[in-house]
Amino acid sequence: MTKIIGLTGGIGSGKTTIAGYFKEMGVPVYIADDGARNVMQSDHVIKELKQVFGEKLFENNILNRAKLAEIVFNDSDKLAKLNAIVHPAVKQDFEFWLKQHNKSPYVIYEAAILFESGRYNDCDYIITVTAPEEVRIERVLKRDNTTREQVLSRMQMQWKDEDRISRSNFVINNVNLKIAKEEVVKILKILNIKQNQS
């Protein structure tokens, strides 16, 4: 049976880069953010979003994601409402994707809010990607059109690294990319040994 490896980390930790390394090594990767983006274009999710957040978030039936992010990142109640719509749809999307990859010994499920969403319960192993806070802030500032204050406020909405690490099987400190890639190779070796033992 295919094992699900949860891959998580705070904003700017570089978990998508790490997911890319697993993909390079032949492990199928599901990016929850991309899944969310796809399901948010489906008719039933659009209908629910309009009911909860109103028509003002849509232009020509296309969701203004920046406007939505602005609303939910400053309001935990609205964020919870958004998650209640999107998470079940992403779960369904992932299950459909998983069936298409059921010949693989492992798949990676990459999600920033793996713990917050409760999806960690569906994982056989969990990898947390970490990096020093200052490095993470710099990465996000370079990547997104945002401010330091906005990055810090998004960080505060997420779990702290120590809380993630305490529930993880593996930790990758993602500062030096070469070393991080070597960690991915090591983890895959360990997983292969475990797979052969079971």
Please state the residue numbers annotated as binding site for ATP. 12-17
Q: How far apart are CA 20 and CA 28, in angstroms?
A: 10
Q: How far apart are CA 87 and CA 117, in angstroms?
A: 7
- Residues 4, 109 contacting (CB under 8 angstroms): yes
Indicate if the alpha-carbon torsion angle 1, 30, 21, 146 is positive or negative: negative
Q: How far apart are CA 181 and CA 177, in angstroms?
A: 6
| Structure letter (DSSP) for residue 28 | -
- Residues 17, 139 contacting (CB under 8 angstroms): no
As annotated, the binding site includes 12-17
